[in-house]
Structure 1
Amino acid sequence: MRILGVILIVIGIAMFFSSGISFTTKEKVIDAGPIQISADKQNNIAWPSYAGGVVAVAGVFLVLFGKKK
């Protein structure tokens, strides 16, 4: 559980300093037999600024109170 806690702390800090993730996908616009036209579509995944803090606090909780093997 402690390893998961450390991972959550790192992810939480990264989420706190960035507002989201953006990526590009290809999308078919026209598919008429041998002719295919595609376009790039910009996708965004955004999260609120406090979400990183919540994830980091959950990680700290797991590190402090996680069971040792």
Structure 2
Amino acid sequence: MQTRTIGIIITVVGIIMLLYNSFNYVTTEKVVDLGPIQINKEVNHPLEWSPIVGVVLAVVGVVLIVTNEKKNA
């Protein structure tokens, strides 16, 4: 893969991480299982990260793009 392509991908991921700094996913856990009777509960699992991570990724991506442009010039 070219450095420019990797830089663009990292920049886009960084911007997305800035816009969305957390998300949840839900799993179902079985609480009670008594023959035909089942009781389940949904459990939220939040994933959070600092916006600083998004800024760092965006800056690294831009640096990769710029350094690739300087090499090709």
Task: Provide the TM-score with structure 1 as the length reference.
Answer: 0.76
1:26-37 → structure 2 map (5 Å cutoff): 26-33=28-35, 35-37=37-39
Map Cα deviations across residues 4-26 of structure 1 (whole Å, 9 max, x no partner): 21111111011112221111111
Supply the AA of the counterpart residue of 2:45: N
1:45 aligns with 2:47: yes
The match for 1:24 is 26
1:50-65 → structure 2 map (5 Å cutoff): 50-65=52-67
Measure the CA separation in 2 of the matches of 1:17 and 1:2: 23
Measure the CA separation in 1 of the matches of 2:50 and 2:23: 12
- Segments of 5+ residues of structure 1 without an aligned counterpart are none
Structure exhibiting the larger radius of gyration computed from Cα positions = 2
Measure the CA separation in 2 of the matches of 1:57 and 1:44: 26
Task: Provide the TM-score with structure 2 as the length reference.
Answer: 0.73
Once the two structures are TM-superposed, the CA of residue 55 in structure 1 deviates from its matched residue by 0.8
Identity of aligned residues (%): 38
User: Runs of 4 or more off by more than 3 Å in structure 1?
Assistant: 31-36
Supply the AA of the counterpart residue of 1:36: Q
